[in-house]
Amino acid sequence: MKQKISKELGREALTALLQTRSPLGPLKVMAKHVGRFFQIPLPGFRPYVVHGHEAARKVLVTDRDKLLWRNTDPVTDLLQRGILITDGEEHDHYRSLMETPFHPSQLTHYTEMMIRQTEHVASAWKDGETVDMLVESRKIALLIIMQTLFSRDARNDIPQIWKPILKSIEYISPGAWILWRKIPRFGFRQPLRELDDYLFGIIEERRKGKEEIKKGDFLGHLIDAGLSDRIIRDQMVTMLIAGHDTSTALLAWVFAMLGQHPDVHKKLVEEVDALEKSPLLDQVIKESLRLYPPIHIGNRRVAEKIEFAEGKIPAGERMFYSIYLTHRDPEIWENAEQFCPERFAHGRKTPPMSYIPFGGGPRACIGAAFGQAEARVVLAHLLKHFTFEFTGHPIHPHMGATLEPRPGVRMRVARRAVEGGTLRLRSGQEWKVESHQ
Ligand code: HEM
Protein backbone atom coordinates (compact mmCIF):
# COMPACT_ATOMS: atom_id res chain seq x y z
CA MET A 1 0.00 0.00 0.00
CA LYS A 2 1.43 3.35 -0.97
CA GLN A 3 0.14 5.91 1.44
CA LYS A 4 0.16 9.53 0.42
CA ILE A 5 -0.28 12.04 3.17
CA SER A 6 -1.84 15.11 1.57
CA LYS A 7 -1.01 18.59 2.77
CA GLU A 8 -4.54 18.97 4.17
CA LEU A 9 -4.25 15.75 6.12
CA GLY A 10 -0.85 16.82 7.46
CA ARG A 11 -2.35 20.14 8.51
CA GLU A 12 -5.34 18.49 10.17
CA ALA A 13 -3.06 16.10 12.03
CA LEU A 14 -0.90 19.00 13.23
CA THR A 15 -3.97 20.95 14.38
CA ALA A 16 -5.18 17.86 16.27
CA LEU A 17 -1.76 17.54 17.90
CA LEU A 18 -1.91 21.13 19.11
CA GLN A 19 -5.54 20.90 20.23
CA THR A 20 -5.32 17.60 22.08
CA ARG A 21 -1.73 18.17 23.25
CA SER A 22 -1.14 14.52 22.52
CA PRO A 23 -0.23 12.27 19.57
CA LEU A 24 -3.63 10.64 20.12
CA GLY A 25 -5.18 13.56 18.20
CA PRO A 26 -3.21 12.94 14.97
CA LEU A 27 -3.68 9.17 15.36
CA LYS A 28 -7.43 9.70 15.35
CA VAL A 29 -7.16 11.93 12.28
CA MET A 30 -5.14 9.24 10.46
CA ALA A 31 -7.65 6.56 11.48
CA LYS A 32 -10.56 8.67 10.24
CA HIS A 33 -9.05 9.60 6.88
CA VAL A 34 -6.66 6.76 6.07
CA GLY A 35 -8.25 3.79 7.85
CA ARG A 36 -7.15 0.84 9.94
CA PHE A 37 -3.65 0.60 8.50
CA PHE A 38 -1.21 3.47 8.10
CA GLN A 39 2.36 4.52 8.56
CA ILE A 40 3.40 7.44 10.73
CA PRO A 41 5.35 9.75 8.46
CA LEU A 42 8.05 11.03 10.82
CA PRO A 43 11.64 11.55 9.69
CA GLY A 44 13.71 8.61 10.92
CA PHE A 45 10.75 6.88 12.53
CA ARG A 46 8.05 5.41 10.33
CA PRO A 47 6.22 2.79 12.34
CA TYR A 48 3.09 1.14 10.98
CA VAL A 49 -0.10 1.44 13.00
CA VAL A 50 -2.93 -1.08 12.78
CA HIS A 51 -6.18 -1.18 14.72
CA GLY A 52 -9.58 -2.80 14.82
CA HIS A 53 -10.66 -6.23 16.02
CA GLU A 54 -9.50 -8.08 12.91
CA ALA A 55 -6.00 -6.64 13.08
CA ALA A 56 -5.89 -7.34 16.83
CA ARG A 57 -6.68 -11.01 16.21
CA LYS A 58 -3.81 -11.25 13.70
CA VAL A 59 -1.31 -9.48 15.95
CA LEU A 60 -2.30 -11.21 19.19
CA VAL A 61 -3.29 -14.66 17.99
CA THR A 62 -3.02 -15.96 14.43
CA ASP A 63 0.16 -14.22 13.21
CA ARG A 64 1.84 -13.48 16.52
CA ASP A 65 4.82 -15.70 15.64
CA LYS A 66 5.75 -13.24 12.91
CA LEU A 67 6.28 -10.56 15.53
CA LEU A 68 8.86 -9.93 18.21
CA TRP A 69 8.22 -8.24 21.54
CA ARG A 70 11.88 -7.47 22.11
CA ASN A 71 12.95 -4.15 20.68
CA THR A 72 15.86 -1.78 20.77
CA ASP A 73 14.47 0.92 23.01
CA PRO A 74 14.61 2.20 26.61
CA VAL A 75 11.89 -0.26 27.70
CA THR A 76 14.22 -3.11 26.77
CA ASP A 77 17.18 -1.30 28.37
CA LEU A 78 15.29 -1.05 31.66
CA LEU A 79 13.52 -4.40 31.76
CA GLN A 80 16.42 -6.36 30.22
CA ARG A 81 15.11 -9.94 30.20
CA GLY A 82 11.77 -9.17 31.82
CA ILE A 83 8.82 -11.31 30.75
CA LEU A 84 7.16 -8.38 28.98
CA ILE A 85 9.90 -8.07 26.38
CA THR A 86 11.32 -11.55 25.89
CA ASP A 87 10.34 -13.88 23.09
CA GLY A 88 9.92 -17.59 22.41
CA GLU A 89 10.93 -20.24 24.94
CA GLU A 90 12.56 -17.80 27.31
CA HIS A 91 9.30 -15.87 27.63
CA ASP A 92 7.22 -19.02 28.00
CA HIS A 93 9.51 -20.28 30.78
CA TYR A 94 9.11 -17.08 32.85
CA ARG A 95 5.39 -17.03 32.17
CA SER A 96 4.94 -20.61 33.42
CA LEU A 97 6.80 -19.70 36.64
CA MET A 98 4.47 -16.78 37.24
CA GLU A 99 1.07 -18.29 36.55
CA THR A 100 0.51 -19.50 40.13
CA PRO A 101 0.85 -16.17 42.02
CA PHE A 102 -1.47 -14.60 39.43
CA HIS A 103 -4.03 -17.36 39.41
CA PRO A 104 -7.51 -15.94 40.12
CA SER A 105 -7.73 -18.31 43.14
CA GLN A 106 -4.95 -16.23 44.79
CA LEU A 107 -6.87 -12.99 44.57
CA THR A 108 -8.86 -13.44 47.77
CA HIS A 109 -5.56 -13.63 49.70
CA TYR A 110 -4.65 -10.21 48.35
CA THR A 111 -7.89 -8.39 49.20
CA GLU A 112 -7.01 -7.66 52.80
CA MET A 113 -3.59 -6.30 51.84
CA MET A 114 -5.15 -4.12 49.15
CA ILE A 115 -7.57 -2.58 51.63
CA ARG A 116 -4.90 -2.12 54.27
CA GLN A 117 -2.57 -0.24 51.90
CA THR A 118 -5.42 1.87 50.50
CA GLU A 119 -6.44 2.84 54.01
CA HIS A 120 -2.85 3.66 54.89
CA VAL A 121 -2.57 6.17 52.04
CA ALA A 122 -6.04 7.62 52.62
CA SER A 123 -5.48 8.02 56.35
CA ALA A 124 -2.97 10.80 55.59
CA TRP A 125 -5.68 12.93 53.93
CA LYS A 126 -7.08 15.80 55.96
CA ASP A 127 -10.78 16.49 55.73
CA GLY A 128 -11.43 19.18 53.12
CA GLU A 129 -7.94 18.90 51.67
CA THR A 130 -7.47 18.82 47.89
CA VAL A 131 -5.40 15.87 46.75
CA ASP A 132 -4.29 14.71 43.33
CA MET A 133 -5.82 11.28 42.76
CA LEU A 134 -3.15 10.49 40.16
CA VAL A 135 -0.46 10.79 42.83
CA GLU A 136 -2.52 9.11 45.56
CA SER A 137 -3.44 6.24 43.23
CA ARG A 138 0.23 5.71 42.48
CA LYS A 139 1.06 5.45 46.18
CA ILE A 140 -1.74 2.93 46.69
CA ALA A 141 -0.82 0.85 43.62
CA LEU A 142 2.87 0.82 44.55
CA LEU A 143 2.25 -0.33 48.11
CA ILE A 144 -0.14 -3.01 46.87
CA ILE A 145 2.23 -4.45 44.30
CA MET A 146 5.15 -4.47 46.74
CA GLN A 147 3.17 -6.24 49.42
CA THR A 148 1.26 -8.75 47.30
CA LEU A 149 4.12 -9.84 45.04
CA PHE A 150 7.22 -9.35 47.20
CA SER A 151 5.64 -9.55 50.70
CA ARG A 152 7.23 -6.19 51.38
CA ASP A 153 5.30 -3.66 53.41
CA ALA A 154 6.84 -0.65 51.68
CA ARG A 155 5.11 2.14 53.64
CA ASN A 156 8.41 3.36 55.04
CA ASP A 157 10.23 2.85 51.74
CA ILE A 158 8.11 5.29 49.74
CA PRO A 159 10.38 8.32 50.30
CA GLN A 160 13.36 6.22 49.19
CA ILE A 161 11.83 4.70 46.06
CA TRP A 162 9.44 7.43 44.88
CA LYS A 163 11.97 9.31 42.76
CA PRO A 164 13.65 6.20 41.31
CA ILE A 165 10.20 4.88 40.32
CA LEU A 166 9.16 8.14 38.68
CA LYS A 167 12.50 8.37 36.87
CA SER A 168 12.14 4.79 35.60
CA ILE A 169 8.74 5.66 34.20
CA GLU A 170 10.08 8.83 32.62
CA TYR A 171 12.96 6.80 31.17
CA ILE A 172 10.63 4.52 29.22
CA SER A 173 8.05 7.17 28.28
CA PRO A 174 8.00 8.36 24.66
CA GLY A 175 10.40 11.21 24.06
CA ALA A 176 13.05 12.56 21.72
CA TRP A 177 14.82 9.18 21.82
CA ILE A 178 12.11 7.88 19.47
CA LEU A 179 13.59 10.00 16.68
CA TRP A 180 17.15 9.92 17.92
CA ARG A 181 17.81 6.63 19.65
CA LYS A 182 21.26 7.57 20.92
CA ILE A 183 20.28 10.97 22.31
CA PRO A 184 22.19 11.56 25.56
CA ARG A 185 19.85 11.11 28.52
CA PHE A 186 20.99 12.76 31.70
CA GLY A 187 19.77 12.33 35.24
CA PHE A 188 18.72 8.68 35.00
CA ARG A 189 21.78 6.63 35.91
CA GLN A 190 21.70 7.34 39.64
CA PRO A 191 17.95 6.82 40.28
CA LEU A 192 17.86 3.68 38.12
CA ARG A 193 20.80 2.29 40.09
CA GLU A 194 19.01 3.14 43.35
CA LEU A 195 15.97 1.18 42.20
CA ASP A 196 18.18 -1.79 41.29
CA ASP A 197 19.96 -1.63 44.66
CA TYR A 198 16.60 -1.59 46.42
CA LEU A 199 15.35 -4.65 44.51
CA PHE A 200 18.63 -6.56 44.90
CA GLY A 201 18.39 -5.78 48.63
CA ILE A 202 14.95 -7.41 48.82
CA ILE A 203 16.23 -10.49 46.95
CA GLU A 204 19.23 -10.76 49.27
CA GLU A 205 17.14 -10.45 52.42
CA ARG A 206 14.83 -13.13 51.15
CA ARG A 207 17.68 -15.48 50.25
CA LYS A 208 19.17 -14.99 53.69
CA GLY A 209 15.79 -15.69 55.19
CA LYS A 210 15.76 -12.33 57.01
CA GLU A 211 12.44 -11.28 55.58
CA GLU A 212 9.32 -13.03 56.79
CA ILE A 213 9.09 -15.93 54.34
CA LYS A 214 5.98 -16.09 52.23
CA LYS A 215 6.81 -19.14 50.15
CA GLY A 216 3.90 -18.74 47.83
CA ASP A 217 4.49 -15.16 46.77
CA PHE A 218 5.78 -14.08 43.37
CA LEU A 219 9.33 -13.54 44.60
CA GLY A 220 9.35 -16.90 46.36
CA HIS A 221 8.34 -18.65 43.14
CA LEU A 222 11.20 -17.09 41.21
CA ILE A 223 13.75 -17.93 43.90
CA ASP A 224 12.49 -21.51 44.19
CA ALA A 225 12.81 -21.87 40.40
CA GLY A 226 16.56 -21.25 40.73
CA LEU A 227 16.71 -18.04 38.70
CA SER A 228 19.75 -15.79 39.11
CA ASP A 229 19.49 -12.51 41.03
CA ARG A 230 19.88 -10.61 37.77
CA ILE A 231 16.95 -12.38 36.08
CA ILE A 232 14.83 -12.07 39.24
CA ARG A 233 15.57 -8.33 39.29
CA ASP A 234 14.41 -8.11 35.65
CA GLN A 235 11.09 -9.79 36.51
CA MET A 236 10.65 -7.68 39.65
CA VAL A 237 11.24 -4.38 37.89
CA THR A 238 8.88 -5.51 35.12
CA MET A 239 6.12 -6.30 37.61
CA LEU A 240 6.77 -3.19 39.63
CA ILE A 241 6.38 -0.93 36.59
CA ALA A 242 3.84 -2.93 34.53
CA GLY A 243 1.84 -3.78 37.63
CA HIS A 244 1.59 -0.39 39.28
CA ASP A 245 1.77 2.25 36.56
CA THR A 246 -1.19 0.68 34.76
CA SER A 247 -3.31 0.44 37.92
CA THR A 248 -2.36 4.00 38.80
CA ALA A 249 -3.65 5.20 35.44
CA LEU A 250 -6.82 3.12 35.70
CA LEU A 251 -7.71 4.38 39.19
CA ALA A 252 -6.93 7.97 38.25
CA TRP A 253 -9.06 7.74 35.08
CA VAL A 254 -11.97 6.35 37.06
CA PHE A 255 -11.76 9.36 39.38
CA ALA A 256 -11.52 11.67 36.37
CA MET A 257 -14.61 10.07 34.81
CA LEU A 258 -16.56 10.24 38.07
CA GLY A 259 -15.52 13.87 38.52
CA GLN A 260 -16.73 14.71 35.04
CA HIS A 261 -19.97 12.68 35.37
CA PRO A 262 -21.49 13.56 38.75
CA ASP A 263 -24.71 11.64 37.99
CA VAL A 264 -22.75 8.39 37.58
CA HIS A 265 -20.65 9.24 40.65
CA LYS A 266 -23.74 9.71 42.82
CA LYS A 267 -25.39 6.53 41.61
CA LEU A 268 -22.17 4.60 42.14
CA VAL A 269 -21.72 5.76 45.74
CA GLU A 270 -25.32 4.73 46.49
CA GLU A 271 -24.75 1.33 44.96
CA VAL A 272 -21.41 0.74 46.69
CA ASP A 273 -23.06 1.63 50.00
CA ALA A 274 -25.97 -0.71 49.40
CA LEU A 275 -24.47 -3.75 47.74
CA GLU A 276 -21.62 -6.13 48.53
CA LYS A 277 -20.72 -6.24 44.82
CA SER A 278 -21.66 -3.24 42.75
CA PRO A 279 -22.37 -4.03 39.07
CA LEU A 280 -22.08 -0.32 38.24
CA LEU A 281 -18.55 -0.24 39.67
CA ASP A 282 -17.57 -3.00 37.28
CA GLN A 283 -19.14 -1.13 34.39
CA VAL A 284 -17.40 2.12 35.31
CA ILE A 285 -14.04 0.33 35.44
CA LYS A 286 -14.67 -1.35 32.08
CA GLU A 287 -15.78 1.86 30.42
CA SER A 288 -12.80 3.80 31.77
CA LEU A 289 -10.54 1.06 30.39
CA ARG A 290 -12.30 1.35 27.03
CA LEU A 291 -11.95 5.12 26.68
CA TYR A 292 -8.55 5.43 28.34
CA PRO A 293 -6.74 2.09 28.16
CA PRO A 294 -3.60 2.57 30.30
CA ILE A 295 -1.60 0.50 27.78
CA HIS A 296 -3.01 2.17 24.71
CA ILE A 297 -0.61 0.69 22.20
CA GLY A 298 1.24 -2.62 21.72
CA ASN A 299 4.74 -2.33 20.37
CA ARG A 300 6.20 -5.00 18.06
CA ARG A 301 9.09 -5.60 15.67
CA VAL A 302 8.12 -7.44 12.49
CA ALA A 303 10.27 -10.59 12.14
CA GLU A 304 8.51 -11.95 9.08
CA LYS A 305 6.34 -10.11 6.54
CA ILE A 306 2.81 -9.78 7.89
CA GLU A 307 -0.27 -9.11 5.78
CA PHE A 308 -3.41 -7.28 6.82
CA ALA A 309 -6.57 -6.77 4.76
CA GLU A 310 -5.40 -3.23 4.02
CA GLY A 311 -1.69 -3.80 3.40
CA LYS A 312 1.56 -5.59 4.21
CA ILE A 313 4.37 -4.78 6.58
CA PRO A 314 7.82 -6.02 5.55
CA ALA A 315 10.21 -7.76 7.97
CA GLY A 316 12.37 -5.44 10.04
CA GLU A 317 9.73 -2.69 10.46
CA ARG A 318 8.29 -1.39 13.71
CA MET A 319 4.57 -1.90 14.22
CA PHE A 320 2.03 -0.72 16.77
CA TYR A 321 -1.43 -2.10 17.35
CA SER A 322 -3.57 0.63 18.79
CA ILE A 323 -5.83 -0.41 21.64
CA TYR A 324 -7.03 3.19 21.95
CA LEU A 325 -8.27 3.36 18.34
CA THR A 326 -9.72 -0.17 18.51
CA HIS A 327 -11.78 0.88 21.55
CA ARG A 328 -13.14 3.92 19.73
CA ASP A 329 -13.97 2.27 16.42
CA PRO A 330 -17.23 3.98 15.41
CA GLU A 331 -18.33 0.92 13.40
CA ILE A 332 -18.25 -1.17 16.57
CA TRP A 333 -19.05 1.18 19.44
CA GLU A 334 -22.18 3.27 19.53
CA ASN A 335 -21.35 6.83 20.67
CA ALA A 336 -17.77 5.65 20.81
CA GLU A 337 -16.43 8.90 22.28
CA GLN A 338 -18.98 9.06 25.11
CA PHE A 339 -18.48 7.77 28.65
CA CYS A 340 -21.37 5.39 29.01
CA PRO A 341 -20.81 2.61 31.62
CA GLU A 342 -24.25 1.08 30.95
CA ARG A 343 -22.99 -0.22 27.61
CA PHE A 344 -21.41 -3.01 29.65
CA ALA A 345 -24.57 -3.68 31.67
CA HIS A 346 -25.87 -6.60 29.62
CA GLY A 347 -22.75 -8.55 28.73
CA ARG A 348 -20.56 -7.84 25.75
CA LYS A 349 -22.20 -7.37 22.40
CA THR A 350 -19.17 -6.38 20.34
CA PRO A 351 -17.02 -8.83 18.30
CA PRO A 352 -14.14 -10.70 19.97
CA MET A 353 -10.93 -8.63 20.14
CA SER A 354 -12.82 -5.34 19.86
CA TYR A 355 -12.30 -4.75 23.60
CA ILE A 356 -8.68 -5.46 24.50
CA PRO A 357 -7.52 -3.35 27.49
CA PHE A 358 -5.40 -6.31 28.60
CA GLY A 359 -4.26 -7.36 25.13
CA GLY A 360 -5.23 -10.88 24.13
CA GLY A 361 -4.10 -14.33 23.07
CA PRO A 362 -1.37 -16.32 24.85
CA ARG A 363 0.48 -13.15 25.87
CA ALA A 364 -2.47 -11.30 27.29
CA CYS A 365 -1.77 -9.40 30.50
CA ILE A 366 -0.81 -11.80 33.26
CA GLY A 367 -2.14 -9.31 35.81
CA ALA A 368 -5.56 -8.79 34.18
CA ALA A 369 -7.58 -10.45 36.96
CA PHE A 370 -5.33 -8.94 39.62
CA GLY A 371 -5.60 -5.42 38.15
CA GLN A 372 -9.38 -5.55 37.90
CA ALA A 373 -9.79 -6.99 41.39
CA GLU A 374 -7.46 -4.33 42.75
CA ALA A 375 -9.44 -1.54 41.07
CA ARG A 376 -12.70 -2.92 42.47
CA VAL A 377 -11.34 -3.29 46.00
CA VAL A 378 -9.56 0.07 46.14
CA LEU A 379 -12.43 2.04 44.59
CA ALA A 380 -15.14 0.37 46.65
CA HIS A 381 -13.17 1.07 49.81
CA LEU A 382 -12.46 4.69 48.96
CA LEU A 383 -15.98 5.51 47.78
CA LYS A 384 -17.48 3.87 50.84
CA HIS A 385 -15.33 5.78 53.30
CA PHE A 386 -14.53 9.11 51.63
CA THR A 387 -16.24 11.81 49.67
CA PHE A 388 -14.55 13.07 46.51
CA GLU A 389 -15.37 16.45 45.04
CA PHE A 390 -13.77 17.18 41.68
CA THR A 391 -12.31 20.68 41.41
CA GLY A 392 -13.37 20.88 37.75
CA HIS A 393 -10.05 21.59 36.06
CA PRO A 394 -9.40 20.48 32.45
CA ILE A 395 -7.89 17.03 31.97
CA HIS A 396 -6.20 15.63 28.90
CA PRO A 397 -4.74 12.19 28.19
CA HIS A 398 -0.97 12.17 28.28
CA MET A 399 1.06 9.48 26.53
CA GLY A 400 3.66 8.56 29.08
CA ALA A 401 4.62 4.98 29.81
CA THR A 402 0.85 4.63 30.21
CA LEU A 403 -2.02 6.88 29.18
CA GLU A 404 -2.43 9.22 32.15
CA PRO A 405 -4.91 11.95 33.03
CA ARG A 406 -2.88 15.16 33.09
CA PRO A 407 -2.27 17.40 34.90
CA GLY A 408 -3.74 14.96 37.45
CA VAL A 409 -7.18 14.68 39.03
CA ARG A 410 -7.55 17.18 41.82
CA MET A 411 -10.31 16.31 44.27
CA ARG A 412 -11.41 17.61 47.66
CA VAL A 413 -11.57 14.69 50.02
CA ALA A 414 -13.19 14.10 53.39
CA ARG A 415 -13.77 10.99 55.43
CA ARG A 416 -17.39 9.99 55.66
CA ALA A 417 -18.85 9.57 59.11
CA VAL A 418 -17.47 6.56 60.95
CA GLU A 419 -19.21 5.00 63.87
CA GLY A 420 -17.45 5.73 67.16
CA GLY A 421 -14.13 6.46 65.44
CA THR A 422 -13.81 2.86 64.28
CA LEU A 423 -13.75 1.80 60.70
CA ARG A 424 -15.08 -1.71 60.33
CA LEU A 425 -14.30 -3.75 57.21
CA ARG A 426 -16.47 -6.53 55.86
CA SER A 427 -13.71 -8.99 56.81
CA GLY A 428 -14.32 -8.01 60.44
CA GLN A 429 -11.02 -6.12 60.70
CA GLU A 430 -11.16 -2.75 62.45
CA TRP A 431 -9.19 0.46 62.29
CA LYS A 432 -9.27 3.36 64.67
CA VAL A 433 -9.51 6.48 62.54
CA GLU A 434 -8.62 10.02 63.40
CA SER A 435 -10.78 12.80 62.15
CA HIS A 436 -8.71 15.60 60.67
CA GLN A 437 -11.52 18.11 60.94
C1 HEM B 1 -5.31 -1.91 34.79
C2 HEM B 1 -4.32 -2.69 34.85
C3 HEM B 1 -3.58 -3.25 33.67
C4 HEM B 1 -3.69 -3.03 32.32
C5 HEM B 1 -4.67 -2.11 31.62
C6 HEM B 1 -2.71 -3.86 31.65
C7 HEM B 1 -2.55 -3.95 30.28
C8 HEM B 1 -1.72 -4.85 29.66
C9 HEM B 1 -1.66 -5.09 28.24
C10 HEM B 1 -2.48 -4.36 27.18
C11 HEM B 1 -0.73 -6.04 28.01
C12 HEM B 1 -0.34 -6.63 26.65
C13 HEM B 1 0.65 -5.74 25.95
C14 HEM B 1 0.98 -6.17 24.54
O15 HEM B 1 0.20 -6.89 23.88
O16 HEM B 1 2.02 -5.74 24.07
C17 HEM B 1 -0.17 -6.41 29.28
C18 HEM B 1 0.81 -7.35 29.46
C19 HEM B 1 1.39 -7.60 30.68
N20 HEM B 1 0.99 -7.11 31.90
FE21 HEM B 1 -0.56 -5.90 32.27
N22 HEM B 1 -2.01 -4.53 32.61
C23 HEM B 1 -2.51 -4.19 33.84
C24 HEM B 1 -2.11 -4.68 35.07
C25 HEM B 1 -1.04 -5.49 35.25
C26 HEM B 1 -0.60 -5.98 36.53
C27 HEM B 1 -1.28 -5.67 37.85
C28 HEM B 1 0.52 -6.75 36.29
C29 HEM B 1 1.41 -7.46 37.25
C30 HEM B 1 1.38 -7.33 38.52
C31 HEM B 1 0.74 -6.74 34.87
C32 HEM B 1 1.78 -7.39 34.23
C33 HEM B 1 1.84 -7.60 32.86
C34 HEM B 1 2.84 -8.45 32.23
C35 HEM B 1 3.97 -9.16 32.91
C36 HEM B 1 2.55 -8.46 30.86
C37 HEM B 1 3.30 -9.23 29.79
C38 HEM B 1 2.71 -10.60 29.63
C39 HEM B 1 3.44 -11.45 28.61
O40 HEM B 1 4.05 -10.93 27.68
O41 HEM B 1 3.38 -12.68 28.75
N42 HEM B 1 -0.22 -5.98 34.27
N43 HEM B 1 -0.80 -5.69 30.28
Pocket test for ligand 1, best of 365, 374, 404 (most atoms within 8 A of CB): 365
* Rounded (10°) CA dihedral 174, 175, 178, 180: -160
Q: Is the pLDDT of residue 195 over 90?
A: yes
| Structure confidence by residue, pLDDT tens digits, 140-166 | 999 999 999 999 999 999 999 999 999
Backbone dihedral region for residue 413 (phi beyond 0: left; psi -120 to 50: alpha; all else: beta)? beta
Ligand 1 centroid to 82 CA: how many Å?
12
Q: Which residues contact 58 (CB under 8 A, 6 or more apart)?
A: 50, 306, 308
Q: Are 61 and 335 in contact (CB under 8 A)?
A: no
* Rounded (10°) CA dihedral 177, 179, 181, 182: -90
Whether residue 95 has its Cβ less than 6 Å from ligand 1: yes
| Structure confidence by residue, pLDDT tens digits, 271-327 | 999 999 999 999 999 999 999 999 999 999 999 999 999 999 999 999 999 999 999
H or E segment and range at residue 48: strand 48-50
Q: Is the pLDDT of residue 255 over 60?
A: yes
CA dist., res. 266 & res. 389, Å (int): 11
More confident residue, 402 or 42: 402
CATH of 35-432, one of 3.40.640.10, 1.10.630.10, 1.10.30.50, 3.40.50.1100: 1.10.630.10
Atom of ligand 1 nearest to the CA of 98: 35
Whether residue 370 has its Cβ less than 6 Å from ligand 1: yes
Whether residue 247 has its Cβ less than 6 Å from ligand 1: yes
Whether residue 302 has its Cβ less than 6 Å from ligand 1: no
Ligand 1 centroid to 33 CA: how many Å?
31
Taking alpha carbons only, the member of 91, 82, 75 closest to residue 299 is 75
Whether residue 253 has its Cβ less than 6 Å from ligand 1: no
Ligand 1 centroid to 195 CA: how many Å?
21
Pocket test for ligand 1, best of 145, 246, 404 (most atoms within 8 A of CB): 246
Ligand 1 centroid to 420 CA: how many Å?
42
Which is it for the CA torsion 358, 361, 366, 369, positive or negative? positive
Burial zone of 365 (CB within 10 Å; 0-12 exposed, 13-18 middle, 19+ buried): buried
Whether residue 365 has its Cβ less than 6 Å from ligand 1: yes
DSSP calls for 160-171: HHHHHHHHHHHH
Q: Is the pLDDT of residue 3 over 60?
A: no
pLDDT-based confidence at residue 5 (cuts at 50, 70, 90): low
pLDDT-based confidence at residue 347 (cuts at 50, 70, 90): confident
CA dist., res. 277 & res. 89, Å (int): 40
Ligand 1 centroid to 359 CA: how many Å?
8
Q: What is the pLDDT of residue 339?
A: 98
Ligand 1 centroid to 66 CA: how many Å?
21
| Structure confidence by residue, pLDDT tens digits, 370-421 | 999 999 999 999 999 999 999 999 999 999 999 999 999 999 999 997 655 5
| Average of per-residue pLDDT values in the chain | 92
Nearest residue by C-alpha to atom 14 in ligand 1: 298
Whether residue 239 has its Cβ less than 6 Å from ligand 1: yes
Q: Is the pLDDT of residue 270 over 70?
A: yes
Average pLDDT over residues 108-131: 96
Q: What is the pLDDT of residue 415?
A: 95
Q: What is the pLDDT of residue 215?
A: 64
Whether residue 411 has its Cβ less than 6 Å from ligand 1: no
CA angle 308, 58, 24 (to 5 degrees): 75
Nearest residue by C-alpha to atom 19 in ligand 1: 365
